[in-house]
Amino acid sequence: MTALVDEIRQIIASEGPMSLERYMAIALTHPEHGYYMNRDPFGAEGDFTTAPEISQMFGELLGLWAAEVWFRLGAPERINLVELGPGRGTLMLDALRAARVVSGLHDALDVHLIEASPALRNMQNEKLAEYLDMIQWHDSIEHLPEGPIIVIANEFFDALPACQYVKAEDGWHERMIGEDGDGKLHFGLAPDPQPLIQARAKKGTVLEVSFAAHDTMRTLASRIVEQTGALVAIDYGHMATGPSETLQAIRKHAMTDPLAEPGEADITMHVDFAHLARAARAAGAEVSGPIIQADFLMSLGLFERAAGLKKNADVRQAMEIDRSLLRLVGTGQEKGAGDKLVPSMGALFKVIGVSTADLGILPGFESKPGQTP
Ligand code: SAH
């Protein structure tokens, strides 16, 4: 049993069943035992692999994306480049290297990393050692300084806590977590329906709502409207709001029971991109996309960058580049960590852009603008 199971059981004993939202927040970011707080979850040795860990091209293209946005903003003398949940710091390292070729940009950059985990902050600090004079860390977006912002978020929104509601005869009941006296955590439903959720659906239908994702997007979009800037978010998710049951826990690249080992497994829910788009529009911002990751990366020049890298690569390196290309933009299954078959990211991952209207359709989204249903 994990240390967190005990703590969660105590809370339930004194306060009654807890919402899935609260459970997820505790399991992921409890200051002492939260999943992200004291480990490196990424890569073949860890629990899951993210796009920047698959290929340097991912971070490089996002660095050039940020450079193009900076130009469109009129190349301001100071610009806040913000990354939400930077993981190992790999994306930012590749982005900053790529941005070096853009004259004047490095001198204008103030980099802000929003990171809850002390362990990952340490890794980011080591990885980005050559750039420390331009970097500041923050616990939350509330602490960002004034001024224009360019925000990058890869696999951040899916780690934010979310609620599930289950349709019954008398309405939508929130999914709760309780303990039946057997020491184990169990799913249950709140006895009364949640009056704010009103939608027709068959009995047993599940809806997932992340208020934290909505609030984060709305806050950043308001900032962008007031002080200019742009945001790009990339995540596992769906284009349209609808019934979905995507809560999952991953440990060592395999699915596990989300209630069995809080603090030891990554727990996520797919991101509802239509919900994010509504949050951004409600703040008065313009939305680009959502589109699938494959379209976004290809439109930013992924294949051209791969061809450039292959010019200086030996045969083994060239094969590695092709393999990572397939994982980033393929739509089938490719070999992942330990040669296990994993679904490629090309269509499973979606990308959304947020800006003020005068910036136009953001870079990477031009081919398929405005797909929000
Ligand atoms: N962007 C990275 C890592 C994705 S994992 C990559 O693509 O590889 C999610 C990241 O968000 C981790 O760095 C995690 O510690 C951070 N994180 C999760 N919840 C957070 C929260 N509520 N506030 C700040 N950071 C958070």
Any idea where the domains of the chain sit in the sequence? 3-34+163-208, 51-159+211-241+255-359
Residue 50 alpha carbon to ligand 1 centre in Å: 11
Q: How many CB atoms lie within 10 A of CB 168?
A: 13
pLDDT along the chain (373 residues), means of 10: 88 97 97 93 88 97 98 97 98 98 96 97 98 97 97 97 96 96 92 93 96 98 98 96 93 93 95 98 98 97 96 95 95 76 91 96 80 43
Residue 369 has a pLDDT of 46
Structure letter (DSSP) for residue 292: E
Residue 319 alpha carbon to ligand 1 centre in Å: 30
Q: Pocket of ligand 1, candidates 36, 38, 50, 215: which has the most ligand atoms within 8 Å of its Cβ, to mutate?
A: 36
Residue 335 has a pLDDT of 74
Q: Is 114 in the pocket of ligand 1 (CB under 6 A)?
A: yes
Alpha carbons 360 and 366: distance in angstroms, whole number: 9
Q: How far is CA 102 from the centre of its chain?
A: 27
Return the CATH number of the domain spanning residue range 51-159+211-241+255-359: 3.40.50.150
Q: Pocket of ligand 1, candidates 53, 114, 156, 268: which has the most ligand atoms within 8 Å of its Cβ, to mutate?
A: 156
Residue 372 has a pLDDT of 44
CA-closest residue to ligand 1 atom 10: 85
Q: Is 258 in the pocket of ligand 1 (CB under 6 A)?
A: no
Number of the ligand 1 atom closest to the C-alpha atom of 42 = 8
CA-closest residue to ligand 1 atom 6: 87
Residue 2 has a pLDDT of 76
Residue 14 alpha carbon to ligand 1 centre in Å: 31
* Nearest partner of 86 among 122, 57, 48, 54, judged by Cα: 122
Residue 370 has a pLDDT of 46
